[in-house]
């Protein structure tokens, strides 16, 4: 049976109406509304849902702000991911927006559409906005499945997402490799050459240990990679030359030292090379594998790409090179 009680201020003036629903077998539910009509309507809907066995508890969703949910999601989900640091940074940004003050059950597609437009207007890329919306969408999924908020609906599903960003297709231009290497300290030069020969990710290069390199068999073992699988890669003759020139500590890292990205960016600036990222070297290396005649399965075994679709974005071979293959 529902009870509707007035809420009064200190002067005895009615400022709202509290609906309370009590039904055997269900926890008591209460909610406050500005009008008595809204309170009665909510009570009827709640009682009807209970009678038909369709009621789902939303009390947690009603009392949990998006900011609080993001904190929990960061602890329980993001922190366990390999890309956790990046995702936690995005979560921190999300928490600074006014939408974070809303309760989970109150957020609608319109709220997220406004958030999307604010972020785009602030100069954020389409891809970055898509990633932020993806975090919110997965947060709602986790809340519904694991946080006892079964009655929630995922409002992200109602929002148009920005178009996916075009994958980078940056290749080294003629002369850029020589100019870049001429501006590098010895260790950075070795790191760049090794990246171009192996197609390894920056993180994989930074974690590579001497004990996992077999100069005799010309192989290197990579563990805990981005796709979650270990793999053994072949080392070219040029890669072996690079390794043999480096000082060795059997229990140490092959490429120890400071932040690669910062050093790489500085070297590009000195070499007057624009819009080149360290990760572009992976794309360059992968494209060179194809230009050497390796098939997709062979390339995937080296680079760690799991599917042909993933490799497709790395095979934008130059038209003139394809023409040479055609004869």
Residues labelled as active-site residues: 201, 226, 279, 282, 305, 314
Reduce the DSSP state of residue 38 to 3 states and report it: helix
Whether 74 and 88 have beta carbons less than 8 Å apart is answered as yes
* 8 within 8 A of 15, measured Cβ to Cβ: yes
Separation CA 92–CA 48 (nearest Å)? 40
Strand partners, 234: 219
Q: Report CA dihedral (39, 44, 49, 51) to the nearest 10 degrees.
A: 140
244: exposed, middle or buried (Cβ count in 10 Å: 0-12, 13-18, 19+): exposed
Which uninterrupted H or E stretch holds 5? strand 2-8
Contacts of 279 (CB under 8 A, 6+ apart): 168, 201, 202
H helices within 122-229, ranges in order?
Answer: 126-146, 176-182, 186-198, 202-207
Residue 227 contacts by C-beta under 8 Å, 6 or more apart in sequence? 304, 306
Contact 133, 112 (CB under 8 A): yes
- Side-chain half-sphere exposure of 64, counting CA atoms within 13 A: 21
Q: Which of 273, 202, 197, 278 is nearest to 240 (CA)?
A: 197
- Nearby residues of 30 by Cβ (< 8 Å), 6 or more positions away: 18, 19, 20, 21
Length of the chain: 327
**3-state secondary structure at position 279:** coil
Please give the C-alpha separations between residue 124 and each of 116, 149, 167, in angstroms, as whole numbers.
10, 31, 16
């Amino acid at each position: 049976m529902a009870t509707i009680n007035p809420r009064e201020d200190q002067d005895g003036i009615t400022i709202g109406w509290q609906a309370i629903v009590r039904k055997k077998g269900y926890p008591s539910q209460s909610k406050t509304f500005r009008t008595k009509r809204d309170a009665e309507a909510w009570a009827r809907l709640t009682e009807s849902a209970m009678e038909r066995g369709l009621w789902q508890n939303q009390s947690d969703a009603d009392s949990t702000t998006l900011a609080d949910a993001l904190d929990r999601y960061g602890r329980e989900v993001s922190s366990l991911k390999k890309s956790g640091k990046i995702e936690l940074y995005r979560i921190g940004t999300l928490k600074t927006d006014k939408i974070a003050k809303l309760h989970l059950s109150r957020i609608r597609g319109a709220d997220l559409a406004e958030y999307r437009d604010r972020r785009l207007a602030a100069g954020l890329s389409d891809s970055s906005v898509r990633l932020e919306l993806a975090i919110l969408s997965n947060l709602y999924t986790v809340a519904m499945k694991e946080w006892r908020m079964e009655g929630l609906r995922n409002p992200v599903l109602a929002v148009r997402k920005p178009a996916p960003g075009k994958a980078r297709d940056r290749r080294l231009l003629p002369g850029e490799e020589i100019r870049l290497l001429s501006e590098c300290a010895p260790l950075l030069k070795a790191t760049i050459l090794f990246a171009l020969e192996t197609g390894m990710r920056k993180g994989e290069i930074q974690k590579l240990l001497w004990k996992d390199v077999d100069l005799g068999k010309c192989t290197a073992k990579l563990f805990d990679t981005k796709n979650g699988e270990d793999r053994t890669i072949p080392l070219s003759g040029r890669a072996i030359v690079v390794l043999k020139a480096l000082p060795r500590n059997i229990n140490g890292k092959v490429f120890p030292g400071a932040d690669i990205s910062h050093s790489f960016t500085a070297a590009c600036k000195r070499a007057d090379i624009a819009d080149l990222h360290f990760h572009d070297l992976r794309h360059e290396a992968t494209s060179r594998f194809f230009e050497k005649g390796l098939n997709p399965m062979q390339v995937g075994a080296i680079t760690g790409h799991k599917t042909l679709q993933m490799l497709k974005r790395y095979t934008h071979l130059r038209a003139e090179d394809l023409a040479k293959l055609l004869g």
